[in-house]
Chains A and B, each alone.
Chain A
Amino acid sequence: MFVAIMLTLVTVGSILFHFFSPWWWTEVASNWGNIDDTIILTFWVTGSVFVAICLFSAYCVWKFRYQKNRRADYEPENPKLEWWLTILTALGVAALLAPGLVVWNQYVTVPKDAYEIEVMAQQWYFSYRLPGEDNKLGTSDIMNITDDNPFGINPNDPNGQDDVLIDGDDIHLLIDRPTKVLLRSIDVLHNFYVPQFRAKMDMVPGSVTYYWFTPTRTGYFEILCAEYCGTGHYAMRGWVSVDEQEDYQAWLQEQETFEEMMARNNDNKEIEIVAK
């Protein structure tokens, strides 16, 4: 009796916890609200299986508890029942998988007009690069990295000259504009994750990874590194601000381009030489 009650309590407790938990996901701030929908669907399908199995066990434990002069049934197998259960499970699984793959297909299919920005990770912070007026990011290489050129942008690539660099500050995104983030790391693995956007992808040294999303809500959101990257992993954060057109343009005007930065670096050097 006691055991059956405890099993029932654990089941009912889990359901109550689920519905009354104050801990639930943040309000979504991107187009990936349909990921939340697939999770809800998964909850209903799998949750009902969990509840059914636990309550069934609780019932058996109570109903078929040991009695000295009773005999258990003798039924080695029941192929019909087993096949039915197999087929039903397969259908349930298909019902989860099919919508999941549809949404995944959207996730990996980047819209043609998506605005490309680059996020560059190193231990333990993020910096960003926007394509500038020509809408093209210049090429880059770890071998080009110097104190003057921390992004390693190819100085001879005309596409790179007007790239906008954001080093040590927040990144801003324009609301409702499909955005493709190109992810690059110059040291170890990292991950670019904003809980409210629901999306993430690792950043791998030696290759460029990506994902896309459309910010749908203005606000100021925390960026977290979601791939263990060394002692400072937990402190590797950043902030993204999703802006309306006006604020966004105002912010963009203030940022420095690669060309401007190189010029500034040269000026500084000349000043140094003159000073000497």
Chain B
Amino acid sequence: MVPDNLDEAVNKSNSVPDLEVKPQDLYHANSFITRWIFCQDAKVIGIQYSLTAIAIGLVAMVLSWMMRLQLGFPETFSFLGPAEYYQFVTMHGMIMVIYLLTALFLGGFGNFLIPLMVGARDMVFPYVNMISFWIYFLAVLILVASFFVPGGPTGAGWTLYPPQAITQGTPGSGWGIVLMLISLSVFVVGFTMGGLNYVITILQARTRGMTLMRMPLTVWGIFTATVLALFAFPALIVSCIMMTLDSLLGTSFFMPTMVELGEKLEYGGGSPILFQHLFWFFGHPEVYIVALPAFGIVSDLISVHARKNIFGYRMMVWAIVFIGALSFIVWAHHMYVSGMNPWFGFFFATTTLIIAVPTAIKVYNWVLTLWRGNIRLTLPMLFALAFIVTFVNGGITGLFLGNVIVDVPLSDTYFVVAHFHMVMGIAPVLVVFGAIYHWFPLITGRYLHEGMGQFHFWVSFLGSYAIYFPMHYLGFIGVPRRYYEMYNSEFIPTSAEGLNQFITIAALTVGFAQIVFLYNIIVSSKFGKLAGKNPWQACSLEWQTPDVPPGHGNFGKELPVVYRWAYDFSVPGAKEDFIPQNVAPNEVPEAKAEQT
């Protein structure tokens, strides 16, 4: 049994408590197929998730180029009609949010990092974990299939609002939307399997000494995001099923009495706004499902590369948990002008602005971690700095949109497009990049190429800032989003055309930098500079494995025992400027560590 004062016991005596559970037999792969395809090792599953997510993410990126070409140079590309434009907007948005970022942070980073960081040999349910990936893969295939069905993919906008999602005036309202709904439902099923695994592994399979308050913030971020997802995705799956029924069987969950291109339809009595409530009850936490893992990861990047403990660790943990909890009572800030009862505005504006407080605390603590650090400007650190700038920028525009009255003129304009790209597009993607540069040496044993990395960093950071910062001002003018073409509206100065061309060119340049990045990944995984063990001199457990890259079972013969938090950098008295989590106090008697 665990003594209540496990921490103290471990610290004081340095003695290691007995195992609570006897070591379990590990699953062993014995053929190519079970090793690399239907594999049950979380590290391989993590990589499978990541590669699939990045592959489908590339599709979303190419779609964004098409849209930008149309917006920058209207009437130049005849193959881009309004129907295609709307299909591209929809697929781009949906892929980026769900199939790329959610899958990459939770399925990719979650699988790879959780067992390593908490000191486990694998996830607790490896078989379910394997199935989870293949179900996600199936969801992606269904999504891709929708590009090839009659009518093409749905063009309903990533929010899929009924009634228009399933009526004829919208592209892909037949096959396209149904495949989208099925694909999302399948995704939720796959995610739930993976998600239960992450949560239970973190709660049950931590190694001895790894108390919750010693976990790296990466794990806290992924853990909280997964819990959010487990509560939020049910709202999505039920709304998908209900809309599928409306579409195929003629039920009227979301469908009011209405006409469609002059014909009265059979529907009656349903509520389109009910769908919006369900969608955003999922959709708002979804933003944090993407953001919280990014928060966690970036905290670790900053701390390691600034050689300083993360400032205010406990506050950081509570901020993550608090943000996660609050994210379930702010959803209707996406619906201020949806026609719901306007009195809700008071409540949701208040809850939304309250979330700004713990979020701001996180930002302060990141920059206070830099204060009196010893900052190595490595690539992961550069991406972390760029994240802070873009995230703060996108965060403060959130204060505009969350304040209900300010949202009235700005909602559904390019201000919103700029805001959400900054805060949940660019900022988390910058963290993904930083994380890849950081953990690549763990995954492959080699560094990514520094020169290409610098190029990738500066073009991606400055380029995406140049895309989205000026875009807010189009929103102030009042340019609405999801407009295939603006025409020469009188209220828009003609110079806005020049701005749109500039944005398009910046977007294509940023896109090019991503191709360099992919090339870097491919080449460096074979020919990169060898990194050796723990090249960044980090404290967390994933870097303390006997083999690099970590082998099957992660930790060799003995699981590590944890004596301290993941942030013992620059401890006064200690010889080195870092003390790994599995170093016992009596091995570094001279160190004056305060926090454990």
Contacts and interface: CB of A to CB of B under 8 A. Distances in A.
Contacts of A75: 309, 311, 372
B312 A195 contact: no
Interface residues of A, number: 96
Contact of A82 (B361, B483, B485): B361
Nearest to A196: B491
A123 interface: yes
Contact of B337 (A70, A105, A186, A202): A202
Interface in B324-350: 337-339, 342-343, 345-346, 349-350
Contacts of A230: 164, 167, 169-170
Which of B82, B405, B412 has the most chain A CB atoms closer than 10 A to its own CB?
B405
A82 B570 contact: no
B549 interface: no
Contact of B493 (A22, A198, A200, A209): A22
B207 interface: no
Contact of B377 (A61, A72, A204, A234): A61
A46 interface: yes
A3 B382 contact: yes
Interface in B257-274: 257-261, 264, 270-273
Given A60-B373, A233-B483, A228 B164 contact: yes
B280 to A, nearest CB: 14
Interface of A is mostly: mixed
Contact of B370 (A60, A103, A189): A60
Contact of B357 (A76, A93, A196): A93
Contacts of A10: 389, 462, 465
Contacts of B405: 35, 38, 100-101, 103-104, 107
A221 B339 CA distance: 23
A231 B161 CA distance: 14
Interface string A37-54: 011001000110110011
Looking at A24, A54, A124, A189, the one whose CB has the most chain B CB atoms below 10 A away is: A189
B78 interface: no
Contacts of B368: 81
B370 A224 contact: no
Given A49-B392, A61-B377, A93 B354 contact: yes
A270 to B, nearest CB: 25
Interface string A50-81: 10011011001100111100111111111001
Nearest to A62: B375
A96 B272 contact: no
Contact of B478 (A25, A202, A227): A25
Contact of A72 (B164, B259, B374): B374
A201 B345 CA distance: 13
Contact of A188 (B169, B270, B356): B169
Contact of B400 (A22, A39, A64): A39
B170 A231 contact: yes
Interface stretch (A83-91, A168-176, A240-248, A252-260): A83-91
B373 A64 contact: yes
Interface in A182-220: 183, 186-189, 191, 193, 195-196, 198-207, 209
Contacts of A196: 491
Contacts of A227: 412
Contacts of A156: none
B570 A71 contact: yes
A186 to B, nearest CB: 5
A157 interface: no
Interface string B163-174: 110010111000
A100 B404 contact: yes
A145 interface: yes
Contacts, number: 319
Interface string B147-163: 00000000111000101
A166 interface: no
Contacts of A11: 389
A231 B381 CA distance: 44
B309 A50 contact: no
Contact of B258 (A22, A57, A93, A186): A186
A191 B337 contact: yes
A206 B372 contact: no
B360 interface: yes
Interface string B417-443: 000000000000000000000000000
A142 B473 contact: no
Given A26-B477, A200-B337, A229-B169, A89 B258 contact: no
Report which residue of A14, A47, A53, A82 has the largest number of chain B beta carbons within 10 angstroms of its beta carbon.
A53
A82 B157 contact: no
15 contacts: A21-B470, A25-B478, A26-B477, A38-B403, A39-B409, A71-B307, A72-B570, A77-B313, A96-B399, A105-B346, A122-B259, A198-B408, A200-B411, A204-B273, A226-B480
Interface of A: 3, 6-7, 10-11, 14, 17, 21-26, 32, 35, 38-39, 42, 46-47, 49-50, 53-54, 56-57, 60-61, 64-67, 70-78, 81-82, 85-86, 89-90, 93, 96-97, 100-101, 103-105, 107-108, 122-124, 142-143, 145, 183, 186-189, 191, 193, 195-196, 198-207, 209, 221-222, 224-234
Given A85-B364, A205-B272, 14 more contacts: A3-B377, A3-B385, A23-B470, A25-B476, A54-B388, A64-B374, A66-B376, A74-B569, A107-B342, A108-B342, A108-B343, A201-B339, A226-B412, A228-B156
